[in-house]
């Protein structure tokens, strides 16, 4: 059987299971969504946020890109952030990286071109911003440490966007969280948090997680 047909068969089985558990399952989905979380994560196929957090449909608004980058000039990302904050009124935004990230590895070592190379310019800026610390580490630890530093820099970048600053100024309940997912044990590791009372200039780098 051609591979894509497995997806269609799996979908039918999934839909049948949901209806067997609850006859109103899909009727409730039509009513709308009220997610509490916006997840900004990596596109890596091994890191599916709803699965690894056991979140049901409707519980999490999701945006994914290579290396979980926050580019204020990316209209795709910023429209997601605006809709999540201003319309859905999410209370939490999570920027989640993951160890063994190919995009982060490429930002550190190069070897890519075209669109991927252009996209990773932000991640290469993270490398430049933390060059001294990265160079001081054993080579086999640099990529995973860069994953952590990238989450830090992207979360601070997110906090500075006009959408988030407007929400903070209005007193809207909103917290930003920086996490890392570990492929080796399936666990999420919280690194940092930012809210309306956090002075961004004082946000320290996350402690290095033993890897």
Catalytic machinery residues: 42, 44, 46, 98, 101
Helix, strand, coil in percent for the chain, rounding step 5: 50, 15, 35
CA geometry: angle at 14 spanning 12 and 15, to 5°? 65
Asked if residues 191 and 179 have their Cβ atoms less than 8 Å apart, the reply is: yes
H or E element: which one contains 8? helix 3-21
75/93 Cα distance (integer angstroms): 17
Radius of gyration of the chain (CA): 19
């Amino acid at each position: 059987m051609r591979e894509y047909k497995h997806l269609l068969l799996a979908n039918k089985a999934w839909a049948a299971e949901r209806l067997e558990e609850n006859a109103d399952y899909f009727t409730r989905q039509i009513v709308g969504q009220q997610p509490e979380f916006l997840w900004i994560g990596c596109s890596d196929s091994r890191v599916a946020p709803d699965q690894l957090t056991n979140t049901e449909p409707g519980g999490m608004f999701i945006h994914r890109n290579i290396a979980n980058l926050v580019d204020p000039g990316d209209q795709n990302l910023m429209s997601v952030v605006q809709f999540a904050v201003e319309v859905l009124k999410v209370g939490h935004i999570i920027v989640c990286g993951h160890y063994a990230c190919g995009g982060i590895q490429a930002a550190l070592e190069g070897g890519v071109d075209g669109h991927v190379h252009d996209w990773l310019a932000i991640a290469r800026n993270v490398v430049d911003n933390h060059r001294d610390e990265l160079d001081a580490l054993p080579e086999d630890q640099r990529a995973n440490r860069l994953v952590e530093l990238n989450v830090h820099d992207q979360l601070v970048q997110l906090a500075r966007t006009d959408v988030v600053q407007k929400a903070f100024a209005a007193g809207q309940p909103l917290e930003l969280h920086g996490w890392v997912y570990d492929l080796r044990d399936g666990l999420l590791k919280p690194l940092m948090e930012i809210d309306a009372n956090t002075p961004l200039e004082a946000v320290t780098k996350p402690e290095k997680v033993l890897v």
